[in-house]
Amino acid sequence: MNMAPNKFSLHFLPKGMHNYFSSAPFVTCTIIEFLKRLDLEQALTGASQEQIQREYVKHLNSLSRNQVLPQFARDHAKKLKKELFSIEVALFWNSILEREKHCATVKHDFTLLQQVRQKHVSLGQADAARVQQENEKGIDKGLNIREKLEDKKTTLEQQVEESLPSEIDTKDDGNAGNTSNTLKRKLNEDDEEELTQEEFLDTNLIESFKKYQKNIPKTRRILTPAYWGVLDLTQESLKNSGIQNKDIEKLSRDFSNKIGWNTEVIIPTEVRKYFDDNCENIDKNEAVNRLDINMQYMKDKMSKLQKACTEEELKMWTTVPLISSVFTSESIETTWGEIQAIPTNKARNEIKDPFSRTKIGHRVDMKGILVKTTNKFEIIYGEVSGGLGPFGLPASCKKKQYVDKVKLMIMLRDSLNQFFINKRHVNDEYRKELTVYGWLQIGTELKIYAMDWIGSGIYRFGKLDECSLPVDKDDSKILEDAYCILNLLEVVTLLSYECSCNYFSGLEASVDVPAVGQKGAINIGKLKCAFLVKFVASRLGLCSKHASGYYVTQYINRLRNRAHSLEAIPQGSANASAGDLLTV
């Protein structure tokens, strides 16, 4: 593509990305201008910072890896991703927080005065003086905010109505300060974009889930995902659980938004043409040589899929060549066969006597390993549930399929737990960002699943997508669906890899933070937290170079205390052992 950079515009955008990035030449787009425009449209709040940063890191990662785009466009996408955490953007979010604080104070004072006039609530002299003094300060602060945000054209009254009030310390009677963030959150529960993950995981859901765990019959425990701490969003095992459907739906939507699973996958033109030609490389294009070799092997074995075959034959004739043709990243190594899942091995032998016989972990048909991580994190597991019977129908019974699904849940849970145990210094907020993936093949149906940890010993497990594999050469075109799904699986897996590098890596980072009231700097030591430099300041709404030494030091002390605490990683049920799962 020989188009000049200053004339190149994006004609397509990842789903959910703002049209600002396609309204002008892409290389002229900046994050700060995008945020200002978004602020004009939506009146940004400080609570939306984390969500916007997380979403646009995914969008920009997708653009930077898109081989259809020219190199300068991919480089600019990487530049925009760095700008998300720049000083200028951090100062912008800091001004948003200051504006919110001011608006919340005005809102509270207005409510307080209205209560005095209408309900004759007693008002102490201290509160009256504080209201008058803060109103005078608020006028000056409001003028400063307007100077910093010249592009913001909404009035002060509109800002008061759209902003949420902050919790204000009132020492008077309870009627004087009855407005709180909690009440406002309850009024806005239907607004999906304003809800955070902590609000989804409310007290009622936790209590319902714990109660359901206790009421599981002993004969059904090891076959019930909730016993292992897994909340099955597919609802196959949540009958009579007492958990409300609306809570499951909210968690499912939040789960989907977090992963960013987008079915509109953009694949190269030559690959699309290859599938349109029924998996025939008519033009002898070298770009699809690897794909063509694996597809021709699958087409050669399709006639055998119309008859009975074993589980190993089904795996070797379908998923092995299919995944081998799609997973090309050097960061992910796939291994096949009846191989042991290492995290389940460690979970089964964690409390055993070292002199007793070691139990082997669950065996899995496929696992994907992040080879560049220090602990060789097993991020993908795959399970084939039985072979094919007569006429190419699944040979496994319904119970076998269900048990294999529960087995997959346990392996994914143990993989997360083992990773958290190795990285005890990491904050729970960042642990919730990590996601592991799995797939289950039943006959010629391939289903993709994912799991993450949301706190309180609860792990979410949900289905992302599914596809069918052809059994006849004339239907080879439908392999494009499987190719797109697996290609997207590789992308989200690499995003989890970046998450593990940013939040969990063991890189040495020496940080010098200015001490409070001093011109010099104090060395707070070499901490094995790679996310410290990039994320501490942004989480506090500050910039890393101008952050107060007090705030950053307090944040680091919390990390140190967490690293040295002896609290166990949530394991679902304390009495549950991965070795107790029955197999068919």
The domain segmentation of the chain, as residue ranges, is 5-85, 90-168, 269-503
> Is the pLDDT at 522 greater than 70, yes or no?
no
pLDDT at 534: 39
Instruction: Supply the pTM of this predicted model.
Output: 0.54
> Is the pLDDT at 163 greater than 70, yes or no?
no
> Is the pLDDT at 535 greater than 60, yes or no?
no
209: its two tokens: 């889930």
pLDDT at 360: 61
pLDDT at 486: 92
For the residues 400-423, what does the mean pLDDT come to?
Answer: 89
pLDDT at 320: 94
pLDDT at 322: 93
pLDDT at 132: 57
Question: d(Cα 426, Cα 467) in Å, to the nearest integer?
Answer: 36
- In the DSSP assignment, the letter for residue 69 is S
User: Does 123 or 363 have the greater pLDDT score?
Assistant: 363
- In the DSSP assignment, the letter for residue 477 is G
Question: d(Cα 205, Cα 252) in Å, to the nearest integer?
Answer: 13
Question: d(Cα 43, Cα 37) in Å, to the nearest integer?
Answer: 9
- In the DSSP assignment, the letter for residue 472 is S
How big is the CA angle at 543 (ends 537 and 548), to the nearest 5 degrees?
A: 75
pLDDT at 130: 55
> Is the pLDDT at 141 greater than 60, yes or no?
no
For the residues 375-397, what does the mean pLDDT come to?
Answer: 88
Phi/psi-derived region of residue 21, left when phi > 0, alpha when psi is between -120 and 50, beta in every other case: alpha
Question: d(Cα 69, Cα 13) in Å, to the nearest integer?
Answer: 11
Tallying the residues shown for the chain, one arrives at: 584
> Is the pLDDT at 206 greater than 50, yes or no?
yes
> Is the pLDDT at 558 greater than 70, yes or no?
no
Q: Residues 430, 431, 434, 435: is their CA dihedral positive or negative?
A: negative
> Is the pLDDT at 157 greater than 80, yes or no?
no
Question: d(Cα 163, Cα 75) in Å, to the nearest integer?
Answer: 37
pLDDT at 401: 92
> Is the pLDDT at 275 greater than 70, yes or no?
yes
> Is the pLDDT at 104 greater than 60, yes or no?
yes
C-alpha to C-alpha distances, 343 to 285, 349, 420, nearest whole angstrom: 42, 10, 11
pLDDT-derived band at 460 (thresholds 50, 70, 90) equals very high
The whole-chain average pLDDT of the chain stands at: 72
pLDDT-derived band at 239 (thresholds 50, 70, 90) equals confident
> Is the pLDDT at 402 greater than 80, yes or no?
yes
Most confident of 194-198, 337-341, 410-414: 410-414
For the residues 547-576, what does the mean pLDDT come to?
Answer: 42
pLDDT-derived band at 135 (thresholds 50, 70, 90) equals low
Taking Cα atoms as reference points, which of 198, 191, 256 lies closest to residue 458? Answer: 198
Q: How far apart are the first and last CA of the chain?
A: 56
Question: d(Cα 528, Cα 423) in Å, to the nearest integer?
Answer: 10
> Is the pLDDT at 59 greater than 70, yes or no?
yes
Question: d(Cα 305, Cα 323) in Å, to the nearest integer?
Answer: 18
170: its two tokens: 């009132």
Cα 335 off chain centre by: 25
For the residues 120-129, what does the mean pLDDT come to?
Answer: 48
User: Does 122 or 211 have the greater pLDDT score?
Assistant: 211
pLDDT at 113: 61
**Given the structure tokens 């936790």, which residue do they identify?**
206
- Asked if 151 contacts 40 with a C-beta cutoff of 8 angstroms, the reply is yes
> Is the pLDDT at 23 greater than 60, yes or no?
yes
- Asked if 294 contacts 324 with a C-beta cutoff of 8 angstroms, the reply is yes
C-alpha to C-alpha distances, 419 to 8, 112, 409, 416, 422, nearest whole angstrom: 43, 50, 16, 5, 5
pLDDT at 200: 46
- Asked if 92 contacts 35 with a C-beta cutoff of 8 angstroms, the reply is yes
**Of the ranges 16-20, 133-137, 331-335, which one carries the lowest mean pLDDT score?**
133-137
Strands (E), 95-167: none
- Asked if 556 contacts 524 with a C-beta cutoff of 8 angstroms, the reply is yes
pLDDT at 20: 82
54: its two tokens: 């997380």
pLDDT-derived band at 139 (thresholds 50, 70, 90) equals low
Is 467 strand, coil or helix? strand
For residue 512, the cross-strand partners are 523
- In the DSSP assignment, the letter for residue 388 is B
Question: d(Cα 525, Cα 471) in Å, to the nearest integer?
Answer: 60
Question: d(Cα 8, Cα 581) in Å, to the nearest integer?
Answer: 56
Paired sense of beta strands 509-514 and 521-527, if any: antiparallel
- Asked if 72 contacts 10 with a C-beta cutoff of 8 angstroms, the reply is no
- Looking at the chain, the whole-number percentage of residues with pLDDT higher than 90 is 16
pLDDT at 43: 76
- Asked if 18 contacts 35 with a C-beta cutoff of 8 angstroms, the reply is no
What are residue 382's phi and psi, to 5 degrees?
-130, 140
pLDDT at 225: 92
pLDDT-derived band at 459 (thresholds 50, 70, 90) equals very high
- Asked if 526 contacts 509 with a C-beta cutoff of 8 angstroms, the reply is yes
